[in-house]
Structure 1
Amino acid sequence: MAELNRISANAGAGVRTARIDEGLRAHMNKVYGTMSIGMVITALAAWAVSGLAVTTEATQYALGDGEYLTDFGYALYASPLKWLIMFLPLIMVFAFSAMINRLSAAGAQTFFYVFAAAMGLSISSIFLVFTGYSIVQVFLITAIAFAGLSMWGYVTKKDISGWGSFLIMGVIGLIVASIVNIFMQSEAIMFAISALGVLIFAGLTAYDTQNIKNQYLAHAHHGDAEWLGKSAIMGALNLYLDFINMFMFLLQLFGNRE
C-alpha cells in the first residue's frame, strides 16, 4: 500500500512538473511575442517619423546632399521640444513601473505598445545620422547577440541573480554620464559609454531572462492569471529595453554615419 501511495505521489508530482514546464514555455512565448510586436511598432514609428522630418524641397533647415528638415523635423530635432522627446521614454518607464499594480493586464499591454511608439519617435533621428545599410547590419548583429544571451540566461543552471544590483548601478551610471556628455560633447566619453553600455545590457539580457523564468516558477502554483499576464508584459518591457539599448550602443560604435 505504501508503495502504491509513493508511486501515486511521484506520478502527481510528474504531472504538476509537466504542467509548469508547459506553462513556462507559454509564458516565455508571450514575453518574446509581446517584445517582438513592440520592436515592430518602434521600427515603423521611427521610419515613418524620419520620413516626415526630411524633404528634398528647399527649406531654411538644410541637412546637406539636397536634403532639408521640414517644419515638423525642425520641431523634433532642433527645437526645445527635442528634450521632451529625448527623455519621454525614460519618463514613461518610471510611470509604467509606478502604475503596473493598478493596471489590468490588457491596460499594461496597451501602455507598452504606446511606449514602443514613443521610443520609435525618440530614436527616429538614427535614419538621419546613420546609413540604412549600417542600421540593418547592426540590428541583425544585435538580434543574434540578444538571442544567444537570452538563451543562455534561460538554460543556465548558474544563479546570476547577484548580477542585478551591479548591473542596475551600471545603468544609472550610464544615464548620468550620458546626460553630462550631452553638454560636454566628448567623443572619448561617448565611446566609453557605448562600450560599457553594450557590456551592461548584454549582462542584463541574460539576467532578465533568468529572472523572468524564476518569477514564473515562484508564482505558477498560485494560478493568478492576471498577475502572470502583467508579469509577462513587464518581462517583455525589460527585454525590449535590453535589446534597444544594446542596439543603440552598438550603432554608436559601429554604425556608418551619413
Structure 2
Amino acid sequence: MENRYNNYGEVTETKVAFGTLIRKVYLWMTLALAMTGLTAAWVAQSGAIYHISQGWFFGAIGIELLLVIFLSTRIWKMSFATAGITFGLYSILNGVTMSFIFLVYEFNTIATTFFITAGTFGGMALLGYITKKDLSITGRMFYMALIGLIIAGIVNLFVTNNTFDWFVSIAGVLIFCGLTAWDSQRIKIMLQEMGDEENENTLKLALIGSLELYLDFINIFLYLLRLFKDY
C-alpha cells in the first residue's frame, strides 16, 4: 500500500512540475514580447529612432543574431540567470530594431495585426499542444521551407516586386504557423521527459522553449504586417 502511495505521489509531483514549467514557457515568452513592444514604442515615441544610423541599425541586427546563436548553443554551459539576462537583452535590442514599424505603419494597423497574430499564434500553439499526431516530420518540412523562405526574402530585396512580396509574406505566415504548432508539441514532449522536477536544467529547457515560441510570434507578426501594409 505504501508503494502505491509513493508511486501516486511521484506521478502527482511530476504533473505539478510539468504544469509549472509549461506555464513558465509562455509567461517568459509573454514578458519578452512585452519588453520588445515597450522598447519599440519608447524608441519611436521619444524620437530616439531618428538618431539611429543605418550602420548602427544593421550592427544591432548582427548583435541580435549573435545573441540568439550564443544562447541557443551555450545555454547548457551557462547559469540559468545568465541565460535569462541574455534573453532579456535580446528582447530589448529586438525592440530597438523593430521600432521602425511605427514609422512605416499606422498605429491601428500595428495594433490590429498584433491581435490577429496573438489569436493565430495561440490557436496554432494550442493545436500543437493537444494534437496526438506526431508533427516531427511536418516540422522538419517546415524548417526546409524556411530555408527557401530566407532565400526568397533575399531575392525579394533585389527584385522589389509587389506580387512576389505578397507570396513571400503568405508563405512566411504559413511556415511560422506550422513551426509554432511543432515547437509547441516538441517543447511539451521535452518537458514531459525532463520535467519530473524543477531544476536548473529544466528551467533552461523552458527558457529555450520560450525563445523559440517568441521568434515564431515575432515572425508571424512581421509577415502579417507586410500583408496588411496596403490596408
* In 2: Cα distance, 1:153 partner to 1:20 partner: 21
Among candidates 3, 14, 18, match of residue 20 of structure 1 = 14
Which residue of structure 2 lines up, in the alignment, with residue 58 of structure 1? none
- The answer to whether the 8 Å contact 2:21/2:198 transfers is no
User: CA shift at 1:167, angstroms?
Assistant: 1.6
Q: What one-letter code is carried by the residue in structure 1 that aligns with 2:227?
A: L
* In 1: Cα distance, 2:174 partner to 2:27 partner: 25
User: CA shift at 1:13, angstroms?
Assistant: 3.7
* In 2: Cα distance, 1:83 partner to 1:179 partner: 15
Residue-by-residue CA offset, 1:51-93 (whole Å, 9 max, x unaligned): 2447xxxxxxxxxxxxxx84x04x1xxx333322344433322
Which residue of structure 2 lines up, in the alignment, with residue 29 of structure 1? 23
The yes-or-no answer on 1:45 pairing with 2:36 is no
- Unaligned stretches of 5+ in structure 2? none
Structure 1 length as normaliser, TM-score? 0.82
Larger deviation, residues 135-144 vs 92-101: 92-101
Q: Structure 1 residues 202 and 191 mapped into 2: Cα distance closer, same or farther (>3 Å)?
A: same
The yes-or-no answer on 1:230 pairing with 2:224 is no
- Unaligned stretches of 5+ in structure 1? 55-68
Q: Percent identity?
A: 34
Structure with the higher fraction of residues in helix conformation: 2
Which residue of structure 2 lines up, in the alignment, with residue 64 of structure 1? none
Larger deviation, residues 149-158 vs 26-35: 149-158
* In 2: Cα distance, 1:84 partner to 1:178 partner: 19
Q: CA RMSD for the aligned pairs?
A: 2.0
User: CA shift at 1:177, angstroms?
Assistant: 2.0
Larger Rg: 1
Among candidates 97, 100, 119, match of residue 144 of structure 1 = 119
Structure 2 length as normaliser, TM-score? 0.91
Identify which of structures 1 and 2 has the higher relative contact order when contacts are C-alpha pairs closer than 8 Å and 6+ apart.
Answer: 2
Q: Could you say what secondary structure the match of 1:112 adopts?
A: helix
State the aligned residue count: 231
Which residue of structure 2 lines up, in the alignment, with residue 213 of structure 1? 188
Among candidates 227, 234, 245, match of residue 219 of structure 2 = 245
* In 1: Cα distance, 2:82 partner to 2:105 partner: 35
User: CA shift at 1:11, angstroms?
Assistant: 4.5
* In 2: Cα distance, 1:187 partner to 1:12 partner: 64
